């Protein structure tokens, strides 16, 4: 009797055929030789074209065939090998404390990335959440990857002591500065911003101008207040300490500080706020006092937070922080260093633009209005 040795597919208890799936086959990565074959040229020609080797006499039509073949095959150049040849990784590292949780981070990163991309560079971003151990590890990682330059960013203006490792390659501080004259940095001009804000209120006729702010260790606090004081002095408006109120940097603090100013025997006709968050609270205090903005009290903020300033009623006049421009400047500076065009470290204080909306107007009925200058007698 002949035995049936045919191998049959496995079946389960109900007689249903079981099919064992085959593992997916991995497509072989395209090589330079594949591009050469499709384009009908040598691998040397492909290498010269894709690496943009200067001084070659390859016809444009041949170059186009190589590019078309490369795109069709999905060929990707070996960036590690190219970096070794060019002594450049075409990468800029960006180390930041809190990229994901601050309202301004996107603008700085966007500005930096735009300039980097236009120069054919890649921006590699690492978030440290202010953890020194993570920060040191991040710097070591970027240096090991042979980045061409480093950006050390903080998401609000701070005075810092940068890690020593930053001195190993071209670097710049973004929204941070140090006391070391050999460090390059870019920050907002907080003092000038405070000055411009106060001048805007004075230009609208105010002379009793309240100022609400918080005490904090960051440079923005004393610098914005110094701008307020400078504007008063230059415009010959008396500085009155009773018109300065200090509280927390949030809407609750802004409300409390503004309420104290409005309770003065002679309240201010305008209030300058350290931040838009404090201005939000000041709005509520003004309304609770039965007053209107800007008819009874004008108000100006600082930061131009897009989730606050345009949505207040009326929309808030404020000072904008130049975050996108600072991000652009940081990469532009590094590119100049890498090309040998920059001479020595640079420190930049970037002007904060005034954003005029509807929260500032001349005082009602001439209250607190600056007297018109009188002509000299003959």
pLDDT in tens, 150-208: 999 998 898 999 998 888 899 999 999 999 999 999 999 999 999 999 999 999 999 99
Position 231 scores a pLDDT of 98
**What pLDDT does 367 receive?**
55
Sort strands 91-96 and 122-127 into parallel, antiparallel or unpaired.
parallel
Sorting pLDDT into bands at 50, 70 and 90, what band is 62?
A: confident
pLDDT over 70 percentage in the chain: 83
Domains present along the chain, CATH in parentheses: 86-187+324-350 (3.40.50.2300), 190-320+355-366 (3.40.50.2300)
Task: Give the model's pLDDT for residue 291.
Answer: 96
pLDDT of residue 371: 43
**Which two structure tokens, joined as six digits, stand for 363?**
């005082």
* Residues facing residue 126 across a β-bridge: 95
Q: Indicate if the pLDDT at residue 298 is higher than 80.
A: yes
Global confidence as pTM: 0.75
pLDDT reported for residue 23:
52
């Amino acid at each position: 009797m002949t035995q049936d040795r045919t191998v049959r597919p496995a079946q389960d208890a109900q007689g249903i055929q079981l099919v064992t799936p085959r593992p997916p086959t991995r497509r072989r990565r395209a090589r330079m030789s594949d591009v050469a074959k499709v384009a009908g040229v040598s691998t040397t020609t492909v290498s010269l074209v894709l690496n943009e080797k200067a001084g070659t006499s390859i016809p444009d039509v041949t170059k186009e065939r190589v590019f078309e073949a490369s795109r069709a095959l999905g060929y990707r150049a070996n960036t590690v090998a190219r970096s070794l040849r060019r002594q450049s990784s075409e990468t800029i590292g960006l180390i930041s404390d809190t990229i994901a949780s601050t309202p301004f981070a996107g603008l700085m990163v966007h500005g930096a990335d735009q300039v980097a991309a236009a120069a054919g560079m890649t921006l590699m971003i690492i978030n440290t959440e202010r953890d020194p151990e993570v920060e040191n590890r991040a710097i070591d990682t970027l240096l090991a990857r042979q980045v061409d330059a480093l950006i050390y960013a903080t998401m609000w203006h701070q005075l810092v002591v940068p890690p020593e490792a930053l001195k190993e390659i071209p670097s710049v501080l973004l929204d941070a500065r140090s006391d070391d004259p050999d460090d390059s940095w870019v920050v907002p001009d907080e003092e000038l911003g405070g000055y411009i804000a106060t001048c805007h209120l004075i230009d609208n006729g105010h002379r009793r101008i309240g100022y609400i702010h918080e005490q904090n260790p960051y440079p923005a606090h004393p610098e914005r207040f110094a701008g307020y004081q400078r504007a008063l002095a230059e415009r010959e408006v008396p500085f009155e300490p009773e018109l300065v109120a200090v509280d927390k940097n949030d809407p609750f603090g802004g409300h409390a500080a503004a309420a104290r100013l409005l309770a003065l025997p002679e309240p201010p006709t305008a209030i300058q706020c350290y931040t838009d968050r404090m201005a939000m609270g000041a709005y509520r205090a003004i309304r609770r006092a039965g007053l209107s903005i800007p008819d009874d009290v004008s108000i100006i903020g600082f930061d131009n937070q897009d989730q606050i300033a345009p949505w207040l009623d009326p929309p808030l006049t404020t000072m904008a922080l130049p975050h996108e421009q600072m991000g652009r400047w940081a990469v532009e500076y590094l590119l100049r260093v890498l090309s040998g065009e920059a001479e020595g470290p640079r420190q930049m204080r970037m002007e904060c633009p005034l954003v005029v909306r509807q929260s500032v107007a001349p005082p009602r009925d001439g209250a607190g209005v600056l007297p018109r200058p009188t002509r000299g007698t003959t």
